[in-house]
Amino acid sequence: MKMIKKVAMSATALVFIGSSVFAQSLADAKKAIDAEQYQKAKSLLKNLTTTQPTKDENYFYLGWVYNEQGYTDSAKTQFNKGIAANPKSAINYAGLGAAAHLDKDAAGAKANFDKALSMAGKDSKTYVYVGKGYLLLPQGQNAVAAADANAAIAVLEKGKTINAKDAELLVTLGDANLAILKSNEANAAYSDALLVDPKSTTAAVAQGTLWRMANNWEAAENQFKAALTIDPNFGPAYRAWAETNYRQAQSDPKVASAKIKEAVDHYKQYLNLTDMSLESQLRYADFLINAGDFATLQQVTTELSKKANANLRVYRYLGIAAYENKDYANGLTAMNKWMSQAGPNRVIANDYLYLGRLQMATGADSLGIISMKKAYQLDTTKADVFMEIAKSDYAKKKYAEAGDAYNDYFTKSHKGTLIEHFQMGIAYYFGYTTKTNPTPADTILLTKADSALSYVSQKATSPVGDVILYRAYINDTKDADRNNIKGLAKPFYEQYITLQSAKPNLSDPDKKKLASAYVYMGTIYEYKDKDDAKAAEAYNKAKELDPTNKQVVAYFSRKTGGAKGR
């Protein structure tokens, strides 16, 4: 009996030892996920799925790491393995819903989330990860949609009734409220989480992030320091601190230089604490884009692209950095690699925007315009692409096309300055005057030009000389039949003369413009009105302003010669 009892006790001890090792290992993996040490977490979890293949949680957390990294196909594989291990694994259905959400499959996300919640029972963790699933950002989305945040809040509030002391649930509830700028609700949730678990590093950092959004730099930094007091190796605290430094630098020019340096130092500490994984460095790339440090971004991504296991997303960042650094050829190569291999679900509007910019910068204008318009099709908030197209076309003397692009910009963005409307008018005017053999149909360009400048005249608080002068040019161009001059430009030249003559001092360029206005009036008086006295008066005023004007010289030469002849 003693021997049997001893064997039984040994077996029990082994069970407890095995359970302890499993629990500790899973806890370590979850801690690594919270610390954004994804490589370490994956290594631990892959080992657990091998040594503990019947534990559905192991597959879930491994799948969740893949979700965090955007590898939804790999994530789904793990969640399905978890369900195979335990068909009633609610949390793995939550994972499938989150993966579907990342893939922009709204129906699939809802179906899996609903199934997860129907099976959850009293397990608040399922509610946590359904809530987190709604808060994950699909490709091309820079912020949580209000509908997703509200869906997360609804789920998490239900989870709170099941377990009001789940610190992770409370932090996630705070995140959901913060996503729609419900600061008071977010602060209450984070505070509740810290009451439940005073050692929650994620809650401390989350509350610091809340203070950052309120531009309370001191309170934010105190929370990051508090998190690092709990765990000096908690990398996300340094990342959030770096992002706070950067925001403060943007808000206060007096400390900008010092805070940017602090931001870089803190981000380096974050990288060192997150096992320098590729994913951590890609997050660093996001930070560099926001900071506008494209020189460092190109250096970092160039090195990353040389690694055998380089994430394809590196080429997106490399393309952006190279464009901003005017390294257009290398930028186009990198962006083409990303666009051709990433797959449609991973390509976003901003990718087409930079592809278009790179194509246009390397001379492939037609392709560039197609790409930039594709960016607008994917994201209609990017109507500014038409302004970029307009300026590019104008610089390359494609004036009529530039005018159309300006018009698209005004129509689609519902905004535009008076200067931009003026530029559209000039573009259409040059679109006509630079044509080698304009046809009668091309006069529509002059009509568009005059319409644009008329708009500026109506909206301007006072008359603008150049607007009046170009309307004169446009209407003079319309008056094409020199044998039957109608004087369409006359009222505009008269207005211009009145405006400019009232100025006490004129620059040399303005004198030349005013002289040309008097020349026009002289021509009208001489040939249309047959009033030689007024013609002579106009030409004499033009001569005072610009004696070298060719038409002035010709007039007086003609008149002098005529007098001698008589």
Q: Which two tokens stand for residue 266?
A: 């803190």
Phi, psi for residue 505 in degrees, rounded to 5: -135, 130
Q: What is the dihedral of CA 411, 413, 416, 420, to 10 degrees?
A: -70
What predicted TM-score, i.e. pTM, was given to this entire model?
0.73
Distance CA 313, CA 309 (A): 12
Write down the pLDDT at residue 470. 97
DSSP 8-state secondary structure symbol assigned to residue 548: T
Write down the pLDDT at residue 562. 54
Question: What would the pLDDT profile of 402-443 be if each residue is shown by its tens digit?
Answer: 999 999 999 999 999 999 999 999 999 999 999 988 888 999
Q: Tell me the mean pLDDT in the region 81-110.
A: 97
pLDDT over 50 (residue 73): yes
Residue spans of the domains in the chain: they are 474-565
Distance CA 327, CA 321 (A): 8
Question: What would the pLDDT profile of 313-322 be if each residue is shown by its tens digit?
Answer: 899 999 999 9
Q: Tell me the mean pLDDT in the region 547-554.
A: 94
Q: Which residue has the tokens 């149909």?
A: 441
What 3-state class would DSSP assign to 519? Answer: helix
439: left (phi over 0), alpha (psi -120 to 50) or beta: beta
Contacts of 450 (CB under 8 A, 6+ apart): 425, 471, 474, 475
Write down the pLDDT at residue 283. 81
Q: Tell me the mean pLDDT in the region 436-456.
A: 94
Q: Tell me the mean pLDDT in the region 73-80.
A: 97
Distance CA 314, CA 190 (A): 34
Tell me what percent of the chain is helix, strand and coil, each rounded to the nearest 5: 80, 0, 20
Q: How confident is the model at residue 479 (pLDDT cuts 50, 70, 90)?
A: confident
Q: Tell me the mean pLDDT in the region 462-482.
A: 91
More confident position, 256 or 142: 256
Mean pLDDT, the chain, rounded, equals 91
Share of the chain above pLDDT 70, in %: 94
Taking a C-beta distance cutoff of 8 angstroms, is the pair 124, 159 a contact? yes
The DSSP annotation for 198-244 comes to TT-HHHHHHHHHHHHHTT-HHHHHHHHHHHHHH-TT-HHHHHHHHHH
pLDDT over 70 (residue 267): yes
pLDDT over 80 (residue 10): no
CATH architecture of 474-565: Alpha Horseshoe (1.25)
Write down the pLDDT at residue 70. 85
pLDDT over 50 (residue 516): yes
Write down the pLDDT at residue 368. 96
pLDDT over 60 (residue 9): no
Q: Which of 393-397, 484-488, 504-508, 519-523 has the weakest average pLDDT?
A: 484-488
Question: What would the pLDDT profile of 381-390 be if each residue is shown by its tens digit?
Answer: 999 999 999 9
Q: Which two tokens stand for residue 145?
A: 């949609």
Expressed in angstroms, the distance from the first to the final Cα of the chain is: 150
pLDDT over 70 (residue 124): yes
Distance CA 56, CA 61 (A): 9
Distance CA 60, CA 124 (A): 15
Q: Looking at mean pLDDT, say which of 137-146, 302-311, 355-364, 557-566 comes out highest.
A: 355-364
pLDDT over 50 (residue 4): no
CA distances from 512 to 185, 221, 449, 465, 518 (A): 66, 62, 23, 13, 10
Nearest to 448 by CA among 465, 432, 464: 432
Distance CA 80, CA 92 (A): 7
pLDDT over 50 (residue 565): no
